[in-house]
Amino acid sequence: MKNDEILTVKETAVLLKTTRQQVRKMIANEELPAVKVGREWRVLKAGIMEFFEMNL
Cα separation, 53 vs 39, whole angstroms: 29
Can you name the CATH fold of 6-54? Arc Repressor Mutant, subunit A (1.10.10)
What is the domain partition of the chain in residue ranges?
Answer: 6-54
* pLDDT of 2: 64
Task: Decide if 18 contacts 54 (C-beta within 8 A).
Answer: no
For 1-55, the pLDDT digits (tens) are 566 899 999 999 999 999 999 999 999 999 999 999 999 999 999 999 888 888 8
